[in-house]
């Protein structure tokens, strides 16, 4: 949908970035992979709250976008590990910047939220 008939901001690079990461799990999955290869099941535990379906789906898209590499071992029981590609690793820094912002300003946002719900800008 990005850049089909956009006008100005419509096809700026921000749109591509948003299309890549603007869903519920992508950023968290990338964060989960940022320390090194992780198994499918371990990711589910690590992230907490994601279903296997959504994890697989997210990983598949990241794989298709060249950000994640899937490594399956022919063993029993099966073992599959996921890791960031070099390209994927470069995305960690922007995500980290975002996370740092949240760490620094998260409280301010929460304050604004319940300030608004009580006083409504009186």
Partner DNA sequence: CAGTATCCATTTCGATACTG
Partner DNA sequence: CAGTATCGAAATGGATACTG
| Binding residues vs its own copies (CB under 8 A) | 5-10, 12-18, 20-24, 27-28, 31-32, 45-49, 63-67, 87, 90-91, 93-95, 97-106, 108-109, 111-113, 115-117
Query: For residues 13 and 49, which CB has a smaller minimum distance to DNA in the complex?
Result: 49
11 in contact with DNA (CB under 7 A): no
Burial 57-69 (b: 16+ CB within 10 A, else e): ebbebbeeeebbb
Using the rule CB under 7 A, is 37 a contact of DNA? no
Contact 80/71 with Cβ under 8 angstroms? yes
CB atoms within 10 A of CB 87: 12
Among 35, 60, 94, 110, indicate the residue that binds DNA (CB under 7 A).
60
Closest CA to 35 of 79, 82, 3, 72: 82
Interface with DNA (CB under 7 A): 23-25, 39-42, 49-54, 56, 59-60, 70, 72, 77-80
């Amino acid at each position: 949908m990005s850049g089909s008939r956009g006008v100005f901001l419509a096809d700026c690079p921000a749109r591509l970035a948003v299309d890549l990461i603007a869903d519920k799990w992508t950023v968290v999955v990338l964060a989960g992979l940022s320390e090194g290869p992780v198994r499918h099941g371990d990711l589910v535990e690590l992230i907490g709250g994601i279903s296997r379906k959504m994890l697989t789906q997210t990983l598949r898209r990241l794989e298709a976008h060249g950000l994640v590499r899937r490594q399956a071992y022919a063993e029993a029981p099966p073992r599959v590990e996921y890791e960031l590609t070099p390209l994927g690793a470069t995305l960690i820094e922007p995500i980290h910047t975002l996370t740092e912002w949240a760490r620094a300003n998260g409280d301010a946002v929460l304050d604004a939220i319940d300030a608004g719900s009580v006083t409504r800008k009186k």
